[in-house]
Amino acid sequence: MSTNKRKQLNILVIIIVGASAFAMLLLGVLFKPQSRKGLDMGEVEAINEGWVLRNYRGNDDKLVELPVKLKAEPDEVLLFMHRLPDGVYEDKVLMFDTKFQNVRVFIGELKVYENGVLNNQKLMRNSVPATNIVDLSYAQPGDIVSIYISSGYKSYSGAMSNVYIGSRGAVVSSILKKHAISFVMSLILVVLAIIFAIVLICLGNKYVDRGKTGYALGFIGIAALWLLLENPIMQLITNNSFGIYVSAVILLLLMPIIYMMYQFSLTNQKRYARIYEIGIYAFGINLLAAVIFQLLSVCDFATYTVAAKGLMICGLMAVTGMLYLSDELQTDKKLRINLYSNILLLAAVLLELILSRFGFYAAVDGLAFGLGLYIYLIILVIVAEKGIIYEIDKNIAKTAEDMEKEKVKAVKNINTGLIYRALALAAGKLKANNMSEGKLIYDTSIYMKCNIRATTDHAIVDFEEELEYIRAYLGIQSKRYPKLDITIEDKVTEFKVPYNTIEPLVENAIENGLLRVGEEGRFVLRSYERLDCFAIQIVDNGQGISPDKLFVSGVSAYRELKEILKDMCGAGIELKCKRDKGSIITVKIPKDGFVIKDE
C-alpha cells in the first residue's frame, strides 16, 4: 500500500469517525428521557394470562395470553387491558419489551408512560427497541392498566411480549441477571481496546506497525462498544432508549469500514487490495447516507439498516472468500488464523439468519451472532496483542544487533595494535630500571586488551585466557593497594568457560568485598578438579554481602552472569556469605556426562 493511499484512507476514516461521533452526540442529546426513582429489591412475577384485547378490527373484546403475535396492519393501534393484582404499592412497576413499537400506558384514565410517540422528537419517525419499565406509583389494586401499541412495520404491529410486575429493584435485578455476562464481556473488550490503544500511542511507529494493529484495535473497540450499547443494561444506566439505539446503529454501520481497513492492511495482493478499497468507500458512503437520511427524515435507521445488514453479510462473505483464495494462505500463519476467525463469524451470521425464522429462538434473539462476534473479537485481541509483542521483540532485537555492530565498528576504529606496542615499549624500558613500574604498565596493557575484547567476544574459551584477564586486573589492584594479600592457586586450567564471566566475579569480590572494609584483606582464587566438575573458587574476607544484592561490575549483573554460565556450559554457582567475615563463590563447570544442580 502506497503512503499517499494510506493517508487518503486514514483521512477518510477520521472524517467518518468524527461524523459518527457527532451524530451520536446530536441524536442522543435531542432525546428527553423520563425520570426514574431509586431501587429496592423484591420479587418479579409474570402476568401473561387474562389480558383483554379490545376493538380488534371492530370485533368484540377477547381474552389473549401473552406473549402473542396478532395479524395487524402498520400503524394499527391495539389495546391490551388487565386488572392489576393485589399487592400493588408505590414501588411496583410493569416491565415488557418492544421492538419498533409505539407504546402508551394508562392506569384508568391517567397516562403514566409513553415511548416512541413523543411529538417533540423531530428526528424520531418510529420507536426503537426498548425495555419498558412503567411506574405504578399512582395505581391501586384492582385498577385497569391499558397498554396501547402500534408500529410502522407490519412484522411488529401485532406483537406483544411477556409482561412482568414487581418492585423496581427486582425488575432491574432480573435484567441484570439475564444480561450481566454479555455486558461485562463487552465492557472488558472495550477497556482492553482502550489499553492497547494507549500502549500503541506510547510505543510509536518505531516499535509497531500502527496501521495493522491500529485497525485491529479500532474494530475491537467499535464492535465491543456496539455490543455494549445493544445490551438492555445500557438503557437502565442511561434511560435513553432512542439515543442508545441511534448510537448502536451508527457503530454497526461503522464496523464494516474499520473491518475492511484491517483486512486491507493485511493483504499484499493488489487485486484484493483494490476490492478492499472499493468496499471501504462503499461502506463509508453507506454510513453517511444513513445519517443524512435520518436527519432529513427521508428514511429512518430501522428501515435503512435492513438493506445495510444485507450489504454487510455480502461483504463478509466476499472477504472470507478472498482470504480462502489468497496466495499467501499456506505461508502466512496470521492469514490462516484470520481466515478461520472469519469463517466462524460468517457461520454465526448465517446461523442467526436461520434461527431467527423459528419462534422458539425469539427469547434469545441475537445470541448466535453475539456469541460468534465475542469469539471473533477475543481472537482478534489475542492476535493484536501478539502482534504488538512480536513487533516490539523484533525491533528490540534489531536495535540490539545494530548496537552490537556499532560497538564492533567502534572497537575496530581504535588502533589497539599501536597502543599495545607503545605500552610494551614503555614496559620494556622500565623493566631495566624499575621492574615494579614496568609490571604495572604491562598489566594495564593486558587488562585494556582484554577489556576491549570483552565488548565483542562472548565465546567459550580456555580458562587460561580468562585467567590472563584476571591476573592483569589483580596485578593492577595489588599495585594500587599493596596491603592486599592476593593469592592465585591455578592447579587446573584445562577446561573452558564463557569469556568475561569469571573476571567480573573477581572484580566484585575485590571492589565490593575487600575494599569496602579497608585497604587490607585476603583474596584467594583457586581452580581445581573434582569428580564431576572443574571448580573455580573465589574467596575473600571482606564484608560478606551476597553479590545478588549488591554487585559492582560494568560488564554484567550477577544474575545475568549466572544465566550465561548456565546456558553456555551448564555451570552452576555456589554462594556462601557471612556478614563481616567474607564470602566464598564457587563456580562449577560440569564434566561430560554430569549435570550441576542449581543451589
Low-confidence ranges of the chain (pLDDT < 50): 1-2, 31-41, 119-120, 554-555
Q: What is the CATH number of the domain that holds 355?
A: 1.20.1070
User: Is residue 40 situated within a structural domain?
Assistant: no
- Show which of 101, 133, 162 is a domain's final residue: 162
Angle at 92 (CA atoms; ends 91, 97), nearest 5 degrees = 130
- Give phi and psi for 429, each to the nearest 5: -70, -35
Query: 528 and 381, same structural domain?
Result: no
Nearest-angstrom CA–CA distance, 526 and 222: 66
Query: 139 and 279, same structural domain?
Result: no
What are the distances in angstroms from CA 253 to CA 258, 317, 324, 579?
10, 17, 25, 70
Query: 186 and 154, same structural domain?
Result: no
Number of H helices, E strands in the chain: 15, 19
- Show which of 369, 386, 403 is a domain's final residue: 386
Structure confidence at residue 25 (pLDDT): 57
- CB–CB of 476/503 below 8 Å? no
Q: How many domains does the chain have?
A: 3
List, edge to edge, every strand of the sheet that includes 521-529: 484-490, 521-529, 533-540, 582-590, 572-578
User: Is residue 449 situated within a structural domain?
Assistant: no
Structure confidence at residue 553 (pLDDT): 53
Please tell me the pTM assigned to this model: 0.63
User: Is residue 194 situated within a structural domain?
Assistant: yes
Structure confidence at residue 331 (pLDDT): 73
Residues in the chain: 599
Query: 250 and 151, same structural domain?
Result: no
Query: 68 and 22, same structural domain?
Result: no
Query: 527 and 502, same structural domain?
Result: yes
Nearest-angstrom CA–CA distance, 300 and 302: 6
Q: What is the CATH number of the domain that holds 561?
A: 3.30.565.10
Query: 54 and 26, same structural domain?
Result: no
The radius of gyration of the chain's CA atoms, rounded to the nearest angstrom, is 39
User: Is residue 455 situated within a structural domain?
Assistant: no
Query: 366 and 278, same structural domain?
Result: yes
Query: 268 and 192, same structural domain?
Result: yes
pLDDT digits (tens, 9 = 90+) for 193-211: 887 777 777 766 555 666 7
Q: What is the DSSP-derived secondary structure letter of residue 391?
A: H
User: Is residue 156 situated within a structural domain?
Assistant: yes
pLDDT digits (tens, 9 = 90+) for 539-559: 998 887 777 666 655 445 788
- Show which of 162, 191, 208 is a domain's final residue: 162
Structure confidence at residue 99 (pLDDT): 86
Q: What is the CATH number of the domain that holds 154?
A: 2.60.40
Query: 117 and 88, same structural domain?
Result: yes
Nearest CA to 196 among 382, 367, 64?
382
Query: 335 and 186, same structural domain?
Result: yes
> Maximum Cα–Cα distance for the chain, whole Å?
132
Residue burial 560-571, b: 16+ Cβ < 10 Å; e: rest: ebbebbeebbeb
User: Is residue 544 situated within a structural domain?
Assistant: yes
The boundaries of the domain holding residue 570 are 483-590
What are the distances in angstroms from CA 74 to CA 57, 116, 159?
13, 14, 12
User: Is residue 155 situated within a structural domain?
Assistant: yes
Query: 144 and 52, same structural domain?
Result: yes
- Give phi and psi for 114, each to the nearest 5: -155, 145
User: Please, what is the angle between helix 241-266 and helix 333-355, to 10°?
Assistant: 140
- CB–CB of 522/596 below 8 Å? no
- CB–CB of 262/215 below 8 Å? yes
User: Is residue 445 situated within a structural domain?
Assistant: no
Alpha-carbon torsion (383, 364, 304, 237), positive or negative: negative
